[in-house]
């Protein structure tokens, strides 16, 4: 099935580059050079996904997104932001953006994200993901992301995070984690789990909000959204 993507980008080179790259990847692409044209297209045609630049002539990317959501259109929307606008991503995510990328970006990564969002939009493979807040585990691709940012995990860390996500909100004793993830029983004084958990927490929680992994002293670990 042909997938149709709307690109709203006023920078001539970036817009042409996106149109060409996405077309070569097999998508049907419409390109608008300003916010009003972009919103008009978004509301009058049916798109599977939209890629919006933030700073646009006419109305900006945020306003385009608001117009799209207000019209009840729920296609995935991916933002392109300049590096100095990154702190504004929170605003975009609150307005209903699904993802953002910082310019300059690698086209391969943009394409990968476009495909993930299209798959997610189709709902067909929903069960292949585990999620809490902005943490997502893609079980098929063995990939973890927070707010769309890739987190590199070892196989053990992935298994550990998968267990925590499957039983989110439950305090998991070390003995259970040892038997499920390492498939053996550790001596009670072994610190293998503590060390692995510390590394996992640094990757999953450092630099991200909300904090998700919590140590319950004397009991074990729980994945939950910190108050």
Residues of the shown chain interacting with Ca ion in the complex, contacts defined by CB under 5 A? 10, 53, 55
* Radius of gyration over every alpha carbon of the chain, rounded to an integer in angstroms: 20
Give residues with Cβ within 8 angstroms of 11, minimum separation 6. Answer: 53
State which residue, 10 or 88, has the beta carbon closest to Ca ion: 10
**Residue 146 forms beta bridges with which residues?**
135, 149
Number of residue whose CB is nearest Ca ion: 55
CB of 84 to Ca ion, least distance (A): 13
Cα distance between residue 131 and residue 148, in whole Å = 12
Q: What share of the chain is helix, strand, coil (3-state, %, to 5)?
A: 45, 20, 35
State which residue, 55 or 163, has the beta carbon closest to Ca ion: 55
CB of 55 to Ca ion, least distance (A): 4
State which residue, 53 or 157, has the beta carbon closest to Ca ion: 53
CB of 104 to Ca ion, least distance (A): 13
State which residue, 64 or 177, has the beta carbon closest to Ca ion: 64
CB of 110 to Ca ion, least distance (A): 16
State which residue, 60 or 205, has the beta carbon closest to Ca ion: 60
Cα distance between residue 175 and residue 186, in whole Å = 7
Give residues with Cβ within 8 angstroms of 191, minimum separation 6. Answer: none
CB of 81 to Ca ion, least distance (A): 10
CB of 95 to Ca ion, least distance (A): 17
Cis upstream peptide for 189 (omega within 30°):
no
Quickly tell me which residue has 């990968």 as its tokens.
112
State which residue, 64 or 116, has the beta carbon closest to Ca ion: 64
Q: How many residues does the chain have?
A: 227
């Amino acid at each position: 099935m042909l997938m149709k993507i709307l690109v709203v980008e006023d920078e001539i080179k970036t817009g042409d580059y996106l149109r060409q790259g996405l077309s070569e990847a097999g998508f049907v692409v419409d390109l608008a050079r300003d916010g009003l044209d972009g919103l008009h297209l978004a509301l009058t045609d049916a798109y599977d996904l939209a890629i919006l630049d933030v700073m646009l002539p006419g109305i900006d990317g945020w306003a385009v997104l608001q117009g799209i959501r207000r019209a009840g259109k729920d296609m995935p929307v991916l933002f392109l932001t300049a590096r100095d606008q990154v702190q504004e991503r929170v605003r975009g995510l609150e307005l209903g953006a699904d993802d953002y990328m910082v310019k300059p970006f690698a086209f391969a990564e943009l394409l990968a994200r476009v495909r993930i969002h299209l798959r997610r939009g189709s709902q067909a493979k929903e069960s292949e993901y585990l999620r809490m807040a902005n943490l997502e585990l893609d079980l098929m691709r063995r990939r973890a992301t927070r707010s769309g940012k890739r987190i590199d995990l070892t196989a053990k860390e992935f298994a550990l995070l998968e267990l925590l996500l499957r039983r989110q909100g439950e305090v998991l004793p070390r003995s259970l984690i040892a038997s499920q993830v390492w498939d053996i029983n550790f001596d009670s004084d072994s610190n293998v789990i503590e060390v692995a958990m510390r590394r996992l927490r640094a990757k999953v929680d450092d630099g991200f909000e909300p904090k998700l992994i919590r140590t319950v002293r004397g009991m074990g670990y729980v994945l939950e959204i910190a108050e």
